[in-house]
Structure 1
Amino acid sequence: MAKKKVGIIYGGKSAEHEVSLQSAKNIVDAIDKEVYDVVLIGIDKQGKWHLGDPSSHLLNEENPKLISLNKSNKGVALVPGESEKQLVSLSQDEGLDQLDVVFPIVHGTLGEDGSMQGMLRIANIPYVGSNVLGSAVCMDKDIAKRLLKGAGISVANGVTFSKHQRESINYVEVEKKLGLPMFIKPANQGSSVGVNKVRNEEEFYQAIAEAFQYDHKLIIEEAIVGREVECAVLGNEHPKASIPGEILPQSDFYSYESKYIDENGAELAIPADLSAELVEKIQNASIHAFQALNCEGLARVDFFLKEDGELVVNEVNTLPGFTKISMYPKLWEISGISYSELISQLIELAVERHERDQQLKSAVWE
């Protein structure tokens, strides 16, 4: 049987660029090379696409603080509507490899928010992860919270402001509503980028200024006292949930650096120390949230587990990190699915969804 050509797209114009590079490295290392041929497509911070060489597509790949894309002189573009020349060389104006499926591991803006998914759908290429709607909804924490609440799922109390409302944001009013401490975060970012824990008025306005550097909308939320529990979900129409894990931050909260830079920034308790009853409750809640937000393929559902047993969804991440210290692959490993097998299942789920979608009529008269 011929190998499937898997395009791995990584990097991107996002605050999570370096995280994406780490994720791509781990996927390339772990993918079953007996079954899949890898085509590397790195996107630099200016948005240009580069065809990568597997042996040299990254610089300083072992150092999360210094890792960077090794830009090639082989610029490429994706051509929608083509079946045999989907990738075109910009320097030689010739068709390159035909892709059977794409694993878009571009975290954050323009990769996780439905933009990449829409492009791949137009190009008619199967891709790993949620569709346009699920990706966009989960990226926007404000919209996601509204849908979760509508589905009867508990979320943190909060308020949302757009940038044009900035002058009306009043510390006294917000503090009266949410109490202290509180969290301020951009609505459309991941990996704790631009997130701050606020304890006083000075920190409040500083955090607002930082959040608006990353997005045109921000969320201010109450601080939930509880254990930070995460669960991985895998599947399309019939998703399954992993054994939950727990984040034990060694700093004030689970920051960007704790997640991806500092291996000692947080302790991961995998599996979490939970009763069988609570494990089942978290798994069921994870699948409920996954389906309520129209997710497919994969997602990591993050909860606060309060002392009284109530589960509060913090966020649902449709393209969680695949770095060597990332929770999503670790949760599946403890649940019985190796890193390599996890990648294979995600690719096959992408192909399965694409084949299902091809059965839909695209015109009234055929």
Structure 2
Amino acid sequence: MSLQDPKLFGKVAVLFGGSSAEREVSLMSGAGVLEALRSRGVDAHAFDPAERDLTDLKREGFDRCFVALHGRHGEDGTVQGALELLGIPYTGSGVMASSVAMDKVMTKRIWQADALPTPKYVRLAFDQQSREQIMVVPDVLGLPLIVKPPREGSSIGVTKVQGYSQMQDAVALSAKFDADVLCEEFIEGEEVTCAVLGQGLDARALPVVRIAAPEGAYDYQNKYFTDDVKYQCPSGLPEAEEREIQRITLAAYHTLGCRGWGRADVMIRASDRKPFLLEMNTSPGMTSHSLVPMSARAAGIPYEELCVRVLASAALDAKGGAN
């Protein structure tokens, strides 16, 4: 797919908004993508699946979709499956990779099977959340630890637990967003993120972004609605560390079967500088605060070009390539 002739993309739907807990962020991402694609001459249109039926995409003659949805019913394989049935190529990972990456427990199981580093964890299923079962978790993982819903993003429902007395409330908060609860070893150190563009042998890791949040509070509010978080790209990390983070991110991307683009969140343990994979985002944010555009800029790819490149990678699982 040529990046030079926007007419080759045909009529493009930018899917954003949606019904997940991350709707607000998705609206910001989609607005940015829509403006960027139109500025490059693409016939792009806004499409909110929370307000319209996906079958309208077929009826109105859309040729491909840019998925700027985040969270459930957008990043979890459900919309991807619908687009497969409609035969409309879409950006990002396919059905299986999207659904697996959305579930942090399944993601960890796959990474562990391929000997990729990820923090230790305990999964509390919906029927394993008695007080007795909750209170033994710190004995297994140590303190502090992280409690979060395994199938939400953007730090929604996440608690950093400092002591036993906080466990009950942390699990209750997480359980509001997901029946299962993920308890994870806390890695003391620096948080970084690494984006990937491309598919198969052509996939490339972009420059690493280092994240410095106030008091380490890289939460929903700080991620999207304040300027308190500082980002460094180039990261300023030693070259060997940067390369290792890019290596494990690319391996994590491949082993999950991702395509198009993605972004891994990684912690670097302060004690020995070992990186640990936290999660893979298969529909990364594209807001003014977002990290993939920042990383792309450091690699010489402007925001508008990034959007066009991602759109050019739109594909169907069934065809194994772009339309």
Q: Same fold (TM over 0.5)?
A: yes
Equivalent residues in 2 for 1:166-315, closer than 5 Å? 166-167=129-130, 170-237=133-200, 238-264=202-228, 266-307=229-270, 308-315=272-279
Amino acid corresponding to residue 30 of structure 2 in structure 1: A
Secondary structure of residue in 1 paired with 2:13: strand
Q: 1:148 aligns with which of 91, 111, 116?
A: 111
**Distance in 1 between residues matched to 2:215 and 2:19, nearest whole Å:** 28
Q: Given that residues 131 and 168 in structure 2 are in contact (C-alpha distance below 8 angstroms), is that contact kept between their aligned partners in structure 1?
A: no
Secondary structure of residue in 2 paired with 1:251: helix
Q: Note if 1:318 corresponds to 2:282.
A: yes
Larger Rg: 1
Secondary structure of residue in 1 paired with 2:284: coil
**Alignment partner, residue 31 of structure 2:** 25
TM-score (norm 1): 0.82
Deviation, structure 1 residue 275 = 1.7
Of stretches 194-203 and 1-10 in structure 1, the one that deviates more from structure 2 is 1-10
**Distance in 2 between residues matched to 1:303 and 1:16, nearest whole Å:** 21
**Alignment partner, residue 11 of structure 2:** 5
Deviation, structure 1 residue 8 = 0.6
Deviation, structure 1 residue 304 = 0.9
Amino acid corresponding to residue 17 of structure 1 in structure 2: R
Which has the bigger relative contact order, CA under 8 A and spacing at least 6?
A: 2
**Distance in 1 between residues matched to 2:277 and 2:30, nearest whole Å:** 28
Cα 1:252–1:306 shift into 2, 3 Å: closer
Cα 1:35–1:147 shift into 2, 3 Å: same
User: 1:218-277: CA deviations, max 9, x gaps?
Assistant: 10011101211111100011200111011101134310111111122x111111111222
User: 1:155-208: CA deviations, max 9, x gaps?
Assistant: 101100111222265344111111111110001000000001111233211111
Q: Given that residues 236 and 353 in structure 1 are in contact (C-alpha distance below 8 angstroms), is that contact kept between their aligned partners in structure 2?
A: no
Amino acid corresponding to residue 335 of structure 1 in structure 2: A
Secondary structure of residue in 2 paired with 1:344: helix
Of stretches 347-356 and 292-301 in structure 1, the one that deviates more from structure 2 is 347-356
Segments of structure 1 that go 5 or more residues without pairing to the other structure are: 50-75, 80-84, 88-95, 360-366
Cα 1:213–1:352 shift into 2, 3 Å: closer
Q: Given that residues 95 and 317 in structure 2 are in contact (C-alpha distance below 8 angstroms), is that contact kept between their aligned partners in structure 1?
A: no
Amino acid corresponding to residue 24 of structure 2 in structure 1: E
**Alignment partner, residue 58 of structure 2:** 86
TM-score (norm 2): 0.92
Cα 1:300–1:36 shift into 2, 3 Å: same
User: 1:281-305: CA deviations, max 9, x gaps?
Assistant: 1111111010011111111111111
Cα 1:34–1:226 shift into 2, 3 Å: closer
Secondary structure of residue in 2 paired with 1:220: strand
**Distance in 1 between residues matched to 2:218 and 2:156, nearest whole Å:** 11
Amino acid corresponding to residue 198 of structure 1 in structure 2: V
**Distance in 1 between residues matched to 2:226 and 2:64, nearest whole Å:** 33
What is the RMSD computed on CA atoms of the aligned residues? 1.9
**Distance in 2 between residues matched to 1:198 and 1:132, nearest whole Å:** 34
**Alignment partner, residue 102 of structure 1:** 65
Q: 1:343 aligns with which of 307, 310, 318?
A: 307
Amino acid corresponding to residue 322 of structure 1 in structure 2: M
Deviation, structure 1 residue 333 = 0.8
**Distance in 1 between residues matched to 2:278 and 2:128, nearest whole Å:** 24
Q: Given that residues 139 and 317 in structure 1 are in contact (C-alpha distance below 8 angstroms), is that contact kept between their aligned partners in structure 2?
A: yes
User: 1:126-146: CA deviations, max 9, x gaps?
Assistant: 000000111011100000000
Amino acid corresponding to residue 55 of structure 2 in structure 1: L
Secondary structure of residue in 2 paired with 1:12: coil
User: 1:56-84: CA deviations, max 9, x gaps?
Assistant: xxxxxxxxxxxxxxxxxxxx5416xxxxx
**Distance in 1 between residues matched to 2:97 and 2:307, nearest whole Å:** 20
Q: 1:116 aligns with which of 79, 83, 89?
A: 79
Of stretches 194-203 and 312-321 in structure 1, the one that deviates more from structure 2 is 194-203
**Distance in 2 between residues matched to 1:339 and 1:8, nearest whole Å:** 16
Deviation, structure 1 residue 352 = 8.5
**Distance in 1 between residues matched to 2:70 and 2:31, nearest whole Å:** 14
**Distance in 2 between residues matched to 1:10 and 1:108, nearest whole Å:** 11
Amino acid corresponding to residue 309 of structure 1 in structure 2: R
Amino acid corresponding to residue 230 of structure 2 in structure 1: E
**Distance in 1 between residues matched to 2:221 and 2:240, nearest whole Å:** 33
